[in-house]
Amino acid sequence: MNKEDVFLNIINQTISDNSYLGNDCAYLKDLNLLISQDTLIEDVHFSISYFTPFEIAQKALLVNISDILAGGGKPKYITVSLSGKLNESFIKEFYSGLDEVCVEYGIKIIGGDLTGGDKIIVSITIIGFGLKQISSRSAAKSGDDVYIAGYHGSSAFGLELLKKGFRDNENEFIKTHKKPVLYGKISENVANTVNSPYVMMDTSDGLYDAMKRVCMESKVGFDISYDKILKKVDNKNLVLFGGEDFGLLICLDKKYANLAESLNLQKIGTVTNTNQIVIDGVVFNIDKSFNHFK
Amino acid sequence: MNKEDVFLNIINQTISDNSYLGNDCAYLKDLNLLISQDTLIEDVHFSISYFTPFEIAQKALLVNISDILAGGGKPKYITVSLSGKLNESFIKEFYSGLDEVCVEYGIKIIGGDLTGGDKIIVSITIIGFGLKQISSRSAAKSGDDVYIAGYHGSSAFGLELLKKGFRDNENEFIKTHKKPVLYGKISENVANTVNSPYVMMDTSDGLYDAMKRVCMESKVGFDISYDKILKKVDNKNLVLFGGEDFGLLICLDKKYANLAESLNLQKIGTVTNTNQIVIDGVVFNIDKSFNHFK
């Protein structure tokens, strides 16, 4: 188990009611609401040497929108907690960035707070409505097809470029790292069409990590062809383990093959009844997030 | 205007839909939900030299609960974003503190995230249901009675003691600063009894600040007797301007005098049709949070 899983176990053992912890989204069934909170911290998640306030706001919001979309929902409201060495121009730039994305997705800013502090911290809570069928990490079953949307490895490669000092905002990888591309039309279509439980999660912590989580929670395995994974970088480490691409990992019953085709989903493999992730015949140990390609 | 008001103005001018910004709570009428997000940051809101992880968690949660209660709601769900130099014992202590308060108020932890980082940052989003009549800062009208619940100045005095190096956890003021006393029975009773718009807000930023905000948003004034304000410290500066007491400021139509008496609310004055806050005949300028007693 990695550190975060250890911590989540402790939390689950400590609190009295632990029905929803550990998912990207909470689902309140009686209200049909999906809720998620994600925090971005300066020098942990981004550096102001290459992120403007406008860009920080947009990324912080898109990360949260991605959780609702992948959960099978439609984002609707956000609260925004912003800390840092705030001044008028920072606030103006930050909220301009936020507003642009809010308008695009029909999201309303309903509250939040402002605090002084050394580092910039953005914590956004997002609330969305569930569409016809919300997704679940535990819904994969042997025989399902495994699909992805989006190119993997691009964001991590963009981050490498930024860390090396590249500052070209027109560079495709840097752009992807700064402003993730989301697949809202695909997730909305899947959530409104599929009639039975299905897996859909974003690949924010990397494609392999998403596969691992689905395997653990669905008690299944995956048989994957590396060649089928959409990518623009020639680096297995970045493609499988690089984070922040915000693509989608979707597992669907074979009867939805036509739907998947109509949405241009990329089939990368099948769900198996083992407890192994096999990529091009190489067996990965699900319990450890060890990088076998390294 | 103070800095926060300037920033809020900028936000309201920047974003396309600004219906709810600047309140402690957002109210989603169609869902009858009250939502609030508050963030506590190490060395801004607390110091680990006198706050344990258990205490940090409880204060962060109570601050949020207070917003929902004063809004006329019943707290129900939270998401918790926790950052810092996290280790297993920190997580365990923190979530134990959180759980104790959650059990007391019937609140469920539905999500959140964990992040590494230098400073401890706790951002909690709380969701509650509206009771019969939610409160509003703009509902005060000339002739209303002005009530408070709670003692003012105690928390700020406790903080002074802590900053001077006192570490007695049985000291009443230190206790109040670390674990605010809330007035949930009073707020619930008011919200379930009153049939017309009324003011109820917590005094988290100080009693004078709460009065000022009500006057500005209701376009009224206050005539207050300082002697009527409940207090355990003999320091006008702390009583009027000290924050974090989490008492209640309530303005009710005279017809609710019996209700107020039954709840032991303390009448401290009346709402006037001026735009001045007058305390014992001393006129305060509402637009500036200038301390005339200093």
Please state the rounded mean pLDDT for residues B199-211. Answer: 96
pLDDT band at B1 (very low <50, low <70, confident <90, very high): low
Angle CA(A13)–CA(A15)–CA(A19) in degrees, nearest 5?
90
A104 domain-assigned? yes
- Is B7 near chain A, with CB under 8 Å? yes
Same domain, A40 and A154: no
ipTM of the complex: 0.88
pLDDT value of residue A1: 57
CA distance A285 to B97: 36
Same domain, A124 and A150: no
pLDDT value of residue A292: 40
pLDDT band at B294 (very low <50, low <70, confident <90, very high): very low
Same domain, B154 and B247: yes
Residue B77: name the closest of B67, B65, B94 by CA. Answer: B65
- The per-residue pLDDT of chain B, averaged, comes to 92
Q: At what angle do helices B88-105 and A3-14 cross, to 10 degrees?
A: 30
pTM attached to this predicted model: 0.91
B11 domain-assigned? no
Q: Is the pLDDT of residue B291 over 50?
A: no
pLDDT value of residue B290: 43
Same domain, A108 and A184: no
Residue A136: name the closest of A217, A254, A17, A257 by CA. Answer: A217
Q: What is the token pair recorded at B112?
A: 């959140």
Residue pLDDT tens, chain A, 294 long: 577 778 888 888 888 876 555 567 899 988 999 999 999 999 999 999 999 999 999 999 999 999 999 999 999 999 999 999 999 999 999 999 999 999 999 999 998 889 888 899 999 999 999 999 999 999 999 999 999 999 999 999 999 999 999 999 999 999 999 999 999 999 999 999 999 999 999 999 999 999 999 999 999 999 999 999 999 999 999 999 999 999 999 999 999 999 999 999 999 999 999 989 999 999 987 765 444 443
The residue out of B100, B130, B160 marking a domain boundary is: B130
Q: B81, B103, B202: best mutation site toward chain A, by most A Cβ within 10 Å?
A: B81
B-chain residue closest to A122, CA distance: B123
Interface A-B: count of C-beta contacts within 8 A: 177
- Is B28 near chain A, with CB under 8 Å? yes
Please state the rounded mean pLDDT for residues B3-17. Answer: 80
- Is B122 near chain A, with CB under 8 Å? no
Same domain, B151 and B202: yes
Contacts of A255 (CB under 8 A, 6+ apart): none
A-chain residue closest to B21, CA distance: A111
Name the B residues in 74-113 with CB < 8 Å from any A CB. 77, 79-81, 83, 86, 88, 91-92, 95-96, 98-99, 102-103, 108-113
Same domain, B71 and B178: no
CA distance A70 to A106: 17
The residue out of A130, A154, A182 marking a domain boundary is: A130
Number of domains making up chain B: 2
CA distance B47 to B98: 18
pLDDT value of residue A103: 96
A292 domain-assigned? no
Same domain, B29 and B150: no
Q: What is the token pair recorded at B54?
A: 């258990």
CA distance A122 to A245: 20
Give the N- to C-terminal CA distance of chain B in Å, as an integer. Answer: 19
pLDDT value of residue A290: 43
Q: Is the pLDDT of residue B76 over 50?
A: yes
CA of A257, closest CA in chain B: separation in Å? 33
Domain hosting residue B108, numbered range:
16-130
- Is B126 near chain A, with CB under 8 Å? no
Which CATH number characterizes residue B94's domain? 3.30.1330.10
CA distance B56 to B45: 10
Contact between B98 and A127 using a beta-carbon 8 Å cutoff: no
Contact between B81 and A39 using a beta-carbon 8 Å cutoff: yes
- Is B4 near chain A, with CB under 8 Å? yes
Same domain, B152 and B121: no
Please state the rounded mean pLDDT for residues B121-136. Answer: 96
Chain B CB contacts of A88 below 8 Å: 6-7, 10
Please state the rounded mean pLDDT for residues B266-272. Answer: 98
Same domain, A100 and A73: yes
Chain A CB contacts of B86 below 8 Å: 7
Same domain, A16 and A117: yes
Which CATH number characterizes residue A265's domain? 3.90.650.10
What is A12-30 written as a DSSP string?
HHHSS--SSTTSSSEEEGG
A290 domain-assigned? no
pLDDT value of residue A273: 95
Residue B77 main-chain phi, psi, to 5 deg: -135, 150
The residue out of B101, B130, B159 marking a domain boundary is: B130
B120 domain-assigned? yes
- Burial (CB count <10 Å: 0-12, 13-18, 19+), residue B96: middle
> Looking up tokens 């917590």, which residue turns up?
B202
CA distance B176 to B229: 17
Same domain, B234 and B193: yes
